[in-house]
Chain A
């Protein structure tokens, strides 16, 4: 018994609050990593758009 409940009942109902908080914390770090990647992407994108206006890079060219 876990806290007076059958183990399967405990895990079915009461393990979730801790599980969700752990998932949310993991998500925080995963999203933080994505934020950094996206920040670099956004910077590159803005520069690309600016360079298109300047005529430095041709649209539809080779992609990385």
Chain B
């Protein structure tokens, strides 16, 4: 136990009450199912950027990431290299087009989006099963992490810690829906990055800046500052490097709880600001914790648990209240991921299961209430399972990311970039991506082959998508038109140009009228505009 004083309890209490307050506030503003499930599609660029990135980053960035660099040296930064550019790929490739297409198709959930873009009985069933199983695994993992973090840091008994941590997440998600999730993510994102930068600046001075850090590390063990990890343990393993970079560089485009953020943007035009804000935030929040793991090697050489390196640095370098805020930041990182997943579970169960299979004529109010009840039910069940912790639960959650990414990435990207992408390709990629990920993980093939589960899963999934789309029946003309329209590529009849010119320049219109009315063009063999 690192914290556990009155200050920590007070700061954490204020934070948790604040989160509940946000949930209560937005509960009053969610009038329709679109408000509740997608924030009424009026989320601005700053909010989109922060909710996108805080949802993507879990407590791993405060604990797992720094612990890895503490153990392996610079090599672990390959993960940061991928993660740092994730927003550029995610928003740049999907942002605008997915926002438009989801709006044209009238989708409220990322699974409904898949089904409408790739119509077919099997599509939604397969997508819903994969998403619900693995997003649920993710929710469970975050609840367990929240409980264990509070238990380890404050000394609160684990069952009570799980109930408090998960209870607050469930409450504000249940009450305020997407808007509460987005605004809590926004605050959590600021707390997370400020805490991280605060400790980093102080630790930076302690080690003598970047040059001082690297020189001392090299003196200690030259392989720590080398390309291939401590003791050159990954020498020449480019497959591992490609997997480490690729997982986070493109992986987020396959996560339903992340891509739903594009659907909630107020306008496709906000994507450009979102890219910049999210990328700057990424550089501060992603590279910094990994480098702090390296600083920990020098400043905390005998730490028992490397996962506590950031928090130990905070308690060593910061005064009491600020160190307690770092503790809150760790909880924020976990909660901002958990709330998005919980929200998605409610959306999928309400929209994709209840409205699709149980009550097709459900009213807006009914849909909102059912989604709320589903969030509550999933929350309660998750807390119970987290308290019991049956064997095997961790095995399910560790590969949730890879399985979701492998299953959905080609379908989400292909939906807006390849109008030929069809139902056969989508179903094939979901099944192949999911099965390969499970087999690869269950058989433990990642270690011997040096190929990350996500890496192999996504390659197979992309291949299945392309082959399936080429073999299967092409999408309807209407669907292809919609994809082109989402990309603003539909060819507009030339006759309309005249109409536009009239609006843009009266002088041009005058010239065109003259040309049409006179025989000047016809005499010279030109076709009229």
By a beta-carbon cutoff of 8 Å, the part of chain A in contact with chain B is 3-6, 8-9, 12-14, 16-17, 20-21, 23-25, 27-28, 31-32, 35, 37-38, 41-45, 47-48, 51, 56-59, 61-64
Contacts and interface: CB of A to CB of B under 8 A. Distances in A.
A27 B493 contact: no
B287 A17 contact: yes
A33 B491 CA distance: 19
Contacts of B213: 4
Given A13-B77, A16-B81, A20-B84, A35 B497 contact: no
A59 B227 CA distance: 60
Interface stretch (B158-166, B172-180, B278-286, B424-432): B278-286
What are the 3 A-B residue pairs with the smallest beta carbon separation, nearest first? A4-B214, A31-B272, A24-B279
B500 A44 contact: yes
Contact of A31 (B215, B271, B280): B271
Nearest to A8: B227
Residue of B276, B491, B492 ringed by the most chain A CB atoms within 10 A: B492
Contacts of B275: 24, 27-28, 31
Contacts of A38: 268, 488
Contacts of A21: 279-280, 283
Given A13-B78, A23-B88, 19 more contacts: A3-B211, A5-B225, A13-B77, A16-B287, A20-B88, A20-B283, A21-B279, A24-B88, A24-B275, A28-B272, A28-B273, A28-B276, A31-B96, A45-B492, A47-B499, A48-B493, A61-B495, A64-B491, A64-B493
B508 to A, nearest CB: 15
Contacts of A37: 488
A25 B494 contact: no
B248 interface: no
A45 B226 CA distance: 56
A44 B492 contact: yes
Interface residues of B, number: 45
Contacts of A23: 85, 88, 279
A21 B283 CA distance: 8
Contacts of A25: 276
- Tell me if A's interface is mostly helix, strand, loop or mixed: helix
Contacts of B490: 45
Count chain B CB atoms within 10 A of each CB in A20, A24, A35 and give the residue with the most: A24
Nearest to B490: A45
B236 to A, nearest CB: 14
B494 A64 contact: yes
B358 interface: no
B206 interface: no
A63 B493 contact: yes
B497 A64 contact: yes
B212 interface: yes
Contacts of A8: 227
B157 interface: no
B269 interface: yes
B214 A3 contact: yes
Contact of B496 (A14, A17, A20, A51): A51
B106 interface: no
Nearest to A27: B275
Contacts of A44: 492, 496-497, 500
B212 A4 contact: yes
A12 B226 CA distance: 10
B225 A9 contact: yes
9 contacts: A5-B214, A16-B81, A20-B88, A20-B279, A27-B272, A43-B500, A44-B497, A61-B495, A64-B492
B476 interface: no
Contacts of A41: 488, 492
B210 interface: yes
A61 B495 CA distance: 8
A62 B494 CA distance: 6
B84 A16 contact: yes
Contacts of B287: 14, 16-17
Contacts of A16: 80-81, 84-85, 287
B218 interface: yes
A5 B211 CA distance: 8
Contacts of B212: 4
Given A4-B211, A20-B84, A38-B488, A9 B493 contact: no
A64 B424 CA distance: 33
B301 interface: no
B477 to A, nearest CB: 11
A20 B74 contact: no
Contacts of B280: 21, 24
B485 interface: yes
Which interface residue of B214, B269, B287, B493 has the most chain A CB atoms within 10 A? B493
A24 B92 CA distance: 9
A48 B215 CA distance: 66
A47 B493 CA distance: 11
A51 B492 contact: no
A51 B499 contact: yes
A5 B215 CA distance: 8
A62 B496 CA distance: 10
Contacts of A51: 496, 499
Contact of A35 (B84, B272, B283, B491): B272
A58 to B, nearest CB: 8
